[in-house]
Each structure stands twice: as C-alpha cells, then as structure tokens.
Amino acid sequence: MLQLLQLLLACCLAIASPLPRDTASLAALWGTRGSKYPTVFLHGILGWGEEKPLLGHLNYFGGLSQNILANLRNEGHSVVAPSMGPLSSNWERACEAFAQIVGAKTDYGLARSARFKHDRFGLNHSGKAMVPGFSSNFAGSATGADSTNKINLVGHSLGGSTARFLTHLLSFGSQEEMDACAAASVECSPLFWTNRTQSYVNGLFALSGVHQGSVVDDFLHANGGLMTFIKGFANTVVGINNFNNKDLIWDLQLGHYGLRQDTDEAFSAYLHRVCESGWFLSDSTAVHDLTVAAHETPLLSFVRNSASTTYFSVAGVTTNHLLGVSVAKLSTNAFLAPFADIIGTYTNASLPVLSTFSKREWRQNDGMVMLASSRGPRAGFSSFEMDIGASYDTKLVQSAPGRAPEKGVYNYVGALDGFDHFDLIALVDIIPGQVDGLYSNILRVLNALAP
C-alpha cells in the first residue's frame, strides 16, 4: 500500500516537472528534483571509443547492428565515449579519458611516469574537449552559461573500474603527484589537484565492472596463456578482415612508452613487439589491473569511493550453477563459453579473497567477470534491486525501491540472467534494439539523481 501511494505521488509530481516524465517519476519517487549532466561512456579492455569504430563499422556500444550512443542522443541525452588505451592500466586510462573530456594534453603524472619510466605526457587533445563546459571547472570559473559542473560515468568491464579510478582522482586528487610537481617546480594536472571544493562526478553506473578482478586473468597468467590470448584475439579480428589500416584498427596509445607503430609496420608485427616488450608484463597494464591478486596491492587498493557520488552496478550471468560449479548456458557466445566454464570451476588457494564469498558468488559469471566482482569493490555494495532492463519506463519505476540510492557505495541493481559479457554492449547482436531499454533506463536512473 505504501509503495502504491509513493507511485501515485511520483506520477503527480512528474506532471509538473521539467524533466522527461519517466525520469521525473523516478526522481519524485526518490525525493529529488533530478538532474541532467553529460554522460561519459568508458570502454573495457581491447575496446575503443566512438570516434573511430573498429574496422570502420563496429561500435563498442552497439556492434555492427546499431550505435547505442546515437540512439541515446536521439532521446535527448548528451553522451560521449573517449578512446583509451585498450591494454593500458586504469590510472593511464583515467588520465586519457580526462584529457579528452576537458580538451587537454594527456598528463600521466610526474611521479607515475618516473616510477614506470615513461614519458609524462601523451596525446594532445587541446581545443577538442568532448564536454567543453566541464573544462571550466579547472580554468578558474565554472559559472558561465555554458559551464558544466558535473558529469556522469558509465563503464563496461574494465571501463567500470576505470570510471571508479577517474571518480577517485576527480574527488581526492593525488597528493603524491602534487608533491612531485611542487618539488620539481612544475605545474600539476588539474586531475591531481587535492584542494577540491566540490564533487565532479554525480553518478556512476558499471556494467559488469571488474571491481575485484577476474580469475580469467589470473588463470591466463598462471598458465602462460596471456600473451597468446591477446595476440590471438587481436590478430583474428584483423586477419579475418584483412585490415592493416591504422585508422580502422586499435590505437594502443603506448607512445609514452616509446611503443609506437611504425609507418610501414603491420599491426600483427607491432602487437608482437608490444607483447615482447618489458612493458607488457609490468604492473602498469590492463592485464595486471584485471587480476584478482593485484587488487590487494597499493597500486589498486588506494582507490576509494566518493561520499558525494552515487554508484550503481549491474551484473550479467550466462551460467547455470549446480553442485558447486557453474557451466555456460547454451546461449553463451562461443568465444566466451570456455572462459565461463573456467570461472565456474576455478579454485586457487593463493587467492584468499575467494574464500570470503560463496562458490555461487564467485563462479556465476558472464563469461569474463564473476558475479561477486561485478557487484562492487571490496568496500562492499548495497542491494538496490530494480528491473534495469525493463522494456518500458513505467515498469522501471514500479520496480524501483521507494528510497533514494545511497551515496558513496555501490547500489547493486541485480543480475541480468542470460546476458553474457558481449550481450551487455550488444557487440555481436544481429537484431538491433535488444538493449535499448537497458541503456535508456541507465540514463533515466542517473538523471533522477539529486544534482
């Protein structure tokens, strides 16, 4: 009865709200006036941004059949998707995303570059800000007519943990980088400023985020198959399509390590050189950040949630659990099915964190990421079940809790049963529109948050 009264009140308030009616109903249910900030989409490992689709046609969010970001723009949303190093660490990817959002030269940090022995600066995006108004936060004033004082973040897979890194840096900065710049008497990137006076990320939504690593990565490390996996996947994509045009394939963005593709160098040869380099097995890569073991180290464990940001997470599950093991469903993508089975039976006594969850929580997965990892980081999560994949907005509002989501913790909206890691981004969908409701609802949820 109480929830019915809340829904009736929400509908009444929605009629008088300047927000779209579906979003206004959700905002009223949660007792907010809603907000509408630009949303930045962050891709995962071996991913790419929107500006240059892979092979000229393949969208990371939408595959060949659709462009999810274009669909969201048609709904009136402001969305962008920067391109980050597909094999780079979360730290570097956060720096690259920030530079593209505000239109600046990529600054990886003075202390960080000294530690990992690479150039401090990367690609220069000056004058090409993806969210022009957001840059005013770091240029002395954010009160102009075109200013944007906050953004939302949506990340898939490694993009989920990159989003958490970026939110941390935009909330707390880096004292180590500030100290290094002060000692060298050089200017520090605004990303690392520690004297924050406001929160810059209003909401964050992670789709199958790798918040506690993936045992697939630990398995490949232990069995010496990591290099084979990376090279095999990339060369299959490039080889099948007979592509070697740099404008149509991955830009690894490793120039700061001196690992640039030569003018006449085949991508397969370039990738082989990258994989054989000292960088590939260092602690400054995506494959390092994806291991469960790495999440216990200072390189990753320093990241904390911001008390001013509302975090959400959703998991995909493409396995059936029986007698303590999980096996891939018949509908699982053929490439992901073997990895789903590896996760579903994985045991490793050297990873004590595995014993802190039930076998179901660790072994149920989407073919790449375990359920327990998708829900949130070690700091924990709060159950906030709602039908995030609902095909119409009324159902979304009806399923939503009658309380506002909690700030500073991951509000776990539940698992999408039958969705594998690729399904969540419609990467190989033949029929377009199957995740339209999911992404529209994610934006509705983010726009229903208090400013």
Length in residues, the chain:
451
9 membership: H or E segment, kind and range: helix 2-15
Backbone φ and ψ of 300, nearest 5°: -120, -30
Q: Is 339 left (phi over 0), alpha (psi -120 to 50) or beta?
A: alpha
Answer yes or no: pTM beyond 0.85.
Answer: yes
Structure confidence at residue 1 (pLDDT): 45
Who has greater pLDDT, 4 or 130? 130
Structure confidence at residue 21 (pLDDT): 59
Structure confidence at residue 140 (pLDDT): 56
16 pLDDT band (50/70/90 cuts)?
very low
Provide the Cα torsion 145, 147, 150, 156; round to 10°: 120
- Helical H segments across 151-249, by residue range: 158-172, 175-184, 215-222, 226-240
Those residues with Cβ within 8 angstroms of residue 1's Cβ, 6 or more apart along the chain or in another chain: none
Structure confidence at residue 191 (pLDDT): 97
pLDDT digits (tens, 9 = 90+) for 297-313: 999 999 999 999 999 99
Compute the distance between CA of residue 20 and CA of residue 15 in angstroms, rounded to an integer. 9
- Residue among 229, 112, 218 nearest 165 (CA): 112
- Six token digits for residue 417: 């049963």
Structure confidence at residue 5 (pLDDT): 43
Lowest mean pLDDT among 23-32, 101-110, 260-269: 260-269
Structure confidence at residue 139 (pLDDT): 76
Lowest mean pLDDT among 26-35, 114-123, 137-146, 192-201: 137-146
Who has greater pLDDT, 284 or 394? 284
Structure confidence at residue 237 (pLDDT): 66
Compute the distance between CA of residue 130 and CA of residue 98 in angstroms, rounded to an integer. 10
Structure confidence at residue 67 (pLDDT): 97
Who has greater pLDDT, 111 or 379? 111
Q: Terminal CA-to-CA distance of the chain, rounded, Å?
A: 30
Who has greater pLDDT, 283 or 5? 283
Compute the distance between CA of residue 363 and CA of residue 181 in angstroms, rounded to an integer. 44
- Six token digits for residue 28: 């009223």
Who has greater pLDDT, 320 or 392? 320
Average of per-residue pLDDT values in the chain: 90
- Quick one: average pLDDT of 442-451? 96
Structure confidence at residue 142 (pLDDT): 44
- Quick one: average pLDDT of 130-134? 94
pLDDT exceeds cutoff 50 at 28: yes
Who has greater pLDDT, 1 or 346? 346
244 pLDDT band (50/70/90 cuts)?
low
- Quick one: average pLDDT of 232-258? 73
- Residue among 451, 363, 362, 446 nearest 155 (CA): 446
pLDDT exceeds cutoff 70 at 3: no
Structure confidence at residue 178 (pLDDT): 97
Structure confidence at residue 9 (pLDDT): 43
Q: Which residues of 177-190 are buried (b: 16+ CB within 10 A; e: fewer)?
A: bbebbeeeeeebbb
